[in-house]
Structure 1
């Protein structure tokens, strides 16, 4: 009898130890993943803030050029008196250490809030609206990641066992979240389906185009377009592939959507706010047919190419933008999904 109780007690103790070890390992792994998520969120926020500073410098340069063309420029009623301030604050924000970054970015936000839309060209106004939107979204993702880490690290077992090690607690990034530029709010959201078409060599099909009313600069973009009334996102993706390439995909060929993003831009003289979601599909390389393109699309699309990430990076070095900007770094993820990796239930936001 004593032996039976001893065995039972031993089994209970072993079970408790096993459960405790499993919990410790699971929690430590979760903490590690949360910290990785936090670091990626900070990198995205840092990139969004850097882009806003670049746009602010561009605005300052436009103001200076306007000032040079104007003999008298009253600072209180025009942008001219704000040029130096924007240039100084954008440079200060870019150079600020992490501890001083919030103050520097808040000062730049205050200066940008004084910029009136009518002072800017539609293109520059759209770039500012897009930069502000990216900062807003990236900051929220960053602070969500910080909140999840702080919540988990505040639990008593995590503190007692020091599962977080000696790493300092991450901090929320608090800057004034002002209203977005009127160009962003006034542009009606346009749901769009885009497709990352991969061939058997893991190259992505990209179109090369220009804005009919733009500066003539070339840019590269994935196949896709707006969702028409009565269509689902998947229906729109299949239709856009067929119309823009002449290639027919089956519904099951589309995997995802994998990513989503919001992009504000000017196109053909109008400011647009595109709410995009990206599917992935694998197909043998094929030659495109332009038979399904509209007249407007024929003026936009000049070329196409099956591209590797180094190809995309070479386009950027040559001054031709690639949309989405993160695409060279996202190809590996798209390839993994095309090769059978699981797709998350909710599309991940990209920039």
Structure 2
């Protein structure tokens, strides 16, 4: 009798242990399905964002071109395609986007497109990893015999050609600059006209000044730049400020910079002939001309002038002087 009780107890323990094991397996499978569904939702969102960016590329960068309509239609088709046809539609969109000349896109749009493509690649891999894990568990005998998957749909990989991703851009180089608003006796400011050697059609006007060297303070840098770029040897105490600070992210000659510009004011009491013989080799090749600008000319021009608020800020500065407060400008 005692032997039978022991046997029954052992069998009961085995049944309980087996039941608990099956419950644990079912719970794990359920979590994998939840993970897979979340992965698909993220992938679907990434693909939808890529389609939106693709339509933006078609509308802005390729406007008027025949392929703009093709790209826009393909993006809309990929976004609305049913699941069985989604892979073919997304592959066609990948192919068309690969043919777009990224160098001809505005920098923010090119960055957004690259980011959208990176997100598609990452989301697809996350989703397919979840599908792989779910399929691996569903193929086990105990899962099939006891139908632990229930009515959950069969996991499916999402197989599309991954876009060829560009290397991640390097972090922008920090650059601190000291600049001088040099004003003559007639209230005109000296500006140089320059261009980016990497962009043929670029043209912009900017104040005297340049990068601060290692171990150099702002005022000393401003005095040095003033001497090198104009030939004016002004004592440091003639510089007022810094009165403005400008934060700017920019690209020059293919390099990305994270810049902080500090502006001083210097006023001349007599005529000064600008001497550019101190220009560096880069300045000689990228600066085309210089001229004195009145406040009225700054307000009327359609050319690009940095800082962008110079036309707005110069008249009160000349009329009232600097009030001693540092201002952030654009």
Q: TM-score range by the shorter chain?
A: 0.5 to 0.7
Deviation at 1:326, TM superposition (A): 0.6
In angstroms, what is the RMSD of aligned CA positions?
3.5
TM-score, normalising length from structure 1?
Answer: 0.50
Aligned residues between the structures: 200
Unaligned runs of 5+ in 2: 1-54, 80-99, 112-167
Deviation at 1:57, TM superposition (A): 7.8
User: Within 5 A, what are the aligned runs for 1:143-292?
Assistant: 186-283=171-268, 284-292=270-278
1:343 equivalent in structure 2: 324
Distance of 1:257 and 1:328 partners within structure 2:
18
Matched, 1:330 2:313: yes
1:20 equivalent in structure 2: none
Deviations 1:165-223 (A, max 9, x none): xxxxxxxxxxxxxxxxx97x921221111110111111111111222221333211100
Distance of 2:317 and 2:305 partners within structure 1:
16
Distance of 1:126 and 1:311 partners within structure 2:
31
Distance of 1:216 and 1:304 partners within structure 2:
18
Q: Is the 8 A contact 1:211 1:300 kept in 2?
A: yes
User: Within 5 A, what are the aligned runs for 1:64-213?
Assistant: 64=63, 68=67, 74-75=74-75, 120-121=102-103, 124-125=106-107, 186-213=171-198
User: Within 5 A, what are the aligned runs for 1:284-323?
Assistant: 284-316=270-302, 320-323=303-306
TM-score, normalising length from structure 2?
Answer: 0.52
Q: Is the 8 A contact 1:126 1:266 kept in 2?
A: no
Aligned partner of residue 283 in structure 2, secondary structure? helix
Q: Is the 8 A contact 2:180 2:264 kept in 1?
A: yes
CA distance 1:59–1:271, change in 2 (3 Å): farther
Unaligned runs of 5+ in 1: 1-55, 82-117, 130-181
State the structure with more CA Rg.
Answer: 2
Q: Is the 8 A contact 2:61 2:105 kept in 1?
A: no
Q: Is the 8 A contact 1:122 1:271 kept in 2?
A: no
User: Within 5 A, what are the aligned runs for 1:48-63?
Assistant: 60-62=59-61
1:6 equivalent in structure 2: none
CA distance 1:121–1:65, change in 2 (3 Å): farther
